[in-house]
């Protein structure tokens, strides 16, 4: 039998001397080769829907740095688009979508299983990658978690406080709940198809989970994640799931147990020593170097990599940043991070 990939061993609960490593947004604008391929594709969305070029940009950081995992190149906002929302990207600003603010807006959405029609090129990218990736590199598929996707579908853009989503949730709960359910079903369909196409792990990005407090966190972050994981495990019992309830704070404690996640990804606001005691006790954790170190580098980067590695050395750990690498990062600092981790 082929040796198990490092990422899969950590996700199965193995404590390793050197943890496997990958990086959120590892294919991105800090790499000149990414910018060249994006220009060849025309724009960001054309790149997402071009399987050959999307596979190419997924492979670029693997070739350059030798990460232990590749993450499918796509975007969490392709699901709203596949459900019928208009989606475009404004260069230098970010995503824009048509918004859902009432029952009529919700009623115009397509059913969950309609997503396959629009998203089939993404499954093709996964197929190409599962053929072309080096045999020791694991392939991660992903989707946005329902709350985070709903924040974009209600606001039509990124927002500092997710106010439009909170307004619909508090002002018209039946419509908000129907929207959450539709996204949940579509996400199950989409991730299940990614696994069928060759994704070995899937990750749920709940980037705005931190704006949900108390019962709302349970209802709109924890519960949809639990539902998606239960449905995926029923169809694909051996595929591990990474959950990322970003900025959950104290609510990271017990999240893996409550949702069935095989690994919980930690943002950089969480102290690694605290997380080792309170979160890693339940299983694998991922994280959590501040992405700013990829810009500033030097001794502080080296010290932080060593500190995080040591803090999580008593249990299963996947080394990563606490959030995505930014376009102003220096690729040399990524190399320094890996060299320090693996020394």
Q: Supply the residues annotated as catalytic.
A: 25, 29, 38, 75, 152
Q: How many whole angstroms separate alpha carbon 125 and alpha carbon 192?
A: 15
Asked if residues 284 and 6 have their Cβ atoms less than 8 Å apart, the reply is: no
Q: Taking CB under 6 A as the rule, does residue 94 contact ligand CP3?
A: yes
Residues 201-220 that bind ligand CP3 (CB under 6 A): 205, 207
Residues 238-277 that bind ligand CP3 (CB under 6 A): none
Between residues 79 and 175, which has the closer beta carbon with respect to ligand CP3? 79
Torsion angle in degrees (nearest 10) through CA of 27, 65, 335, 15:
100
- Binds ligand CP3 by CB under 6 A, chosen from 30, 49, 67, 73: 73
Binding mask 46-65 for ligand CP3 (x = CB under 6 A): --------------------
DSSP per residue, 211-269:
G--THHHIIIIIHHHHHHHHHHHHH-TT--EEEEETT-GGGGTTHHHHHT-SEEE--TT
Q: Taking CB under 6 A as the rule, does residue 147 contact ligand CP3?
A: no
Q: Taking CB under 6 A as the rule, does residue 317 contact ligand CP3?
A: no
Binding mask 157-196 for ligand CP3 (x = CB under 6 A): -x--------------------------------------
* Total of chain residues touching ligand CP3, rule CB under 6 A: 20
**Half-sphere exposure of residue 32, counting CA atoms within 13 Å on the CB side?**
3
Q: Which stretch binds ligand CP3 (CB under 6 A): 71-79, 105-113, 252-260, 312-320?
A: 71-79
Q: How many whole angstroms separate alpha carbon 341 and alpha carbon 339?
A: 6
Contacts of 174 (CB under 8 A, 6+ apart): none
Q: Taking CB under 6 A as the rule, does residue 32 contact ligand CP3?
A: no
Between residues 95 and 315, which has the closer beta carbon with respect to ligand CP3? 95
Between residues 14 and 33, which has the closer beta carbon with respect to ligand CP3? 33
Between residues 73 and 319, which has the closer beta carbon with respect to ligand CP3? 73
Show the DSSP H helices in the chain as ranges: 6-11, 32-41, 44-48, 51-65, 78-82, 103-107, 115-132, 146-155, 163-171, 173-197, 215-217, 223-235, 255-259, 272-278, 293-296, 298-311, 331-342
Between residues 49 and 142, which has the closer beta carbon with respect to ligand CP3? 142
Asked if residues 9 and 315 have their Cβ atoms less than 8 Å apart, the reply is: no
Residues 273-292 that bind ligand CP3 (CB under 6 A): none
Q: Which residues bind ligand CP3 (CB under 6 A)?
A: 24-29, 38, 44, 71, 73, 75-77, 94-95, 142, 158, 205, 207, 324
């Amino acid at each position: 039998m082929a040796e198990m990939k490092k990422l899969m061993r950590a996700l199965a609960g193995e404590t390793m001397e050197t943890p496997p490593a990958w990086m959120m947004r590892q294919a991105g604008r800090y790499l000149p080769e990414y910018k060249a391929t994006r220009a060849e594709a025309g724009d960001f969305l054309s790149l997402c829907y071009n399987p050959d070029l999307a596979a190419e940009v997924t492979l670029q950081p693997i070739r350059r740095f030798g990460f232990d995992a590749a993450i499918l190149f796509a975007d969490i906002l392709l699901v709203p688009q596949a459900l019928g929302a208009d989606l475009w990207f404004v260069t230098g600003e970010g995503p824009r979508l048509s918004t859902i603010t009432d029952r009529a807006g919700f009623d115009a959405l397509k059913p969950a299983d309609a997503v396959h029609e629009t998203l089939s090129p993404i499954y093709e990218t996964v197929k190409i990658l599962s053929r072309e990736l080096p045999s020791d590199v694991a392939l991660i598929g992903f989707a946005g978690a329902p709350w985070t996707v709903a924040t974009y579908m209600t606001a039509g853009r990124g927002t500092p406080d997710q106010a439009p989503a909170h307004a619909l949730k508090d002002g018209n709960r039946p419509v908000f709940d129907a929207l959450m359910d539709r996204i949940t079903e579509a996400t199950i369909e989409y991730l299940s198809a990614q696994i069928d196409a060759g994704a070995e792990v899937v990750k749920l990005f709940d980037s705005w989970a931190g704006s949900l407090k108390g019962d709302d966190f349970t209802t709109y972050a924890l519960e949809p994640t639990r539902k998606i994981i239960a449905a995926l495990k029923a169809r694909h019992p051996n595929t591990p799931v990474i959950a990322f309830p970003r900025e959950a704070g104290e609510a990271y404690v017990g999240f893996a147990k409550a949702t069935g996640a095989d690994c919980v990804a930690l943002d950089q606001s969480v102290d690694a020593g605290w997380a080792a005691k309170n979160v890693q006790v339940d299983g694998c954790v991922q994280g959590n170097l501040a992405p700013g170190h990829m810009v500033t580098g030097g001794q502080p980067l080296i010290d932080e990599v060593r500190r995080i590695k040591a803090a999580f050395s008593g249990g299963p750990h996947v080394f990563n940043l606490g959030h995505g690498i930014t376009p102003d990062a220096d690729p040399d600092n990524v190399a320094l991070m890996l060299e320090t981790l693996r020394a």
